[in-house]
Structure 1
């Protein structure tokens, strides 16, 4: 019996960590980066800070949702089966919740509490995403150039001009080029 508990321990730990994150990932995967980093690096010691940054980078450049970082963490913890368990733990609970909420949500559209809830969740999701970005910057030991570029890009995206996205990309690239020319 103890051998089975030892065998299942990493899978149960992945489920115990990822299912709650799945249910509170308001705003998507970036909303849980900070607590996921804390849990997987500081609490569970599944990864070093450097390994977390490397897996984060892989998850960001790979196609698919940002929360695929959890799949990579599962793979690091327990191989391919850990990746499968982590993926299911991250996507199945929130998908079931989303289907249930969507059925009820549209039924009550237009009510005062419905509008208040929508308005209240927006800043929560935004705050969670900012916390995730801050956690990544701290782990990566980002310098002033990275912080400045991130702040400028956030300002440009907040500005919301009625401009083609390629113009925003060009502005961001130009800003990065200018900032990289500054002495360190």
Structure 2
């Protein structure tokens, strides 16, 4: 039996993740998974993956998955705690930093920081993608289809200018048809 959700702990954990979410909140999904599924046992692995898939399929901002995770942990109060935690520090920091960086955009340090963040962001996104694909790659009945879908998506991303929205839509259709 999982412990009852502690909204303050949920808020504080997402508050700390906000400062690590370089490249967007989705880059911290592995740590969210570790905390919500592995440590607190508030969600199952399936609930966690389903929450992200549902939010990513819905129109709107990419960060909606945080609200869905919070909702699945503790209903409306959980959604509010998770969203406030993830949004408050990063929003405040981004507003202050962008104002300062705009005034100093030609400084060597600012240019170096901007260029150095690209590989970090890419690595965090790859880790998140692997976390979400791992349960399907591990299941023998889904392994080949999942790996094929990953390979096709990677090839289309690298070789075409096809929008990512179309690839997400195609992945949703493939999943809805039960091919993955």
Task: Provide TM-score, normalisation by structure 2.
Answer: 0.80
Residue 146 of structure 1 pairs with residue 142 of structure 2: no
| CA distance in 1: counterparts of 2:134 and 2:63, whole angstroms | 19
Runs (5+) with no aligned partner, structure 1: 1-6, 178-184
| CA distance in 2: counterparts of 1:111 and 1:156, whole angstroms | 36
Deviation at 1:92, TM superposition (A): 1.9
Residue 111 of structure 1 pairs with residue 107 of structure 2: yes
Task: Provide TM-score, normalisation by structure 1.
Answer: 0.78
Within-5 A mapping of 1:1-184: 10-140=6-136, 141=138, 142-159=142-159, 161=160, 163=161, 165=162, 169=166
Deviation at 1:158, TM superposition (A): 2.5
Runs (5+) with no aligned partner, structure 2: 175-180
CA contact (8 A) 1:21 1:32 kept: yes
| CA distance in 1: counterparts of 2:151 and 2:30, whole angstroms | 18
Q: Which runs of 4+ in 1 moved over 6 A?
A: none
Structure number with higher relative contact order (C-alpha < 8 Å, ≥ 6 residues apart):
1
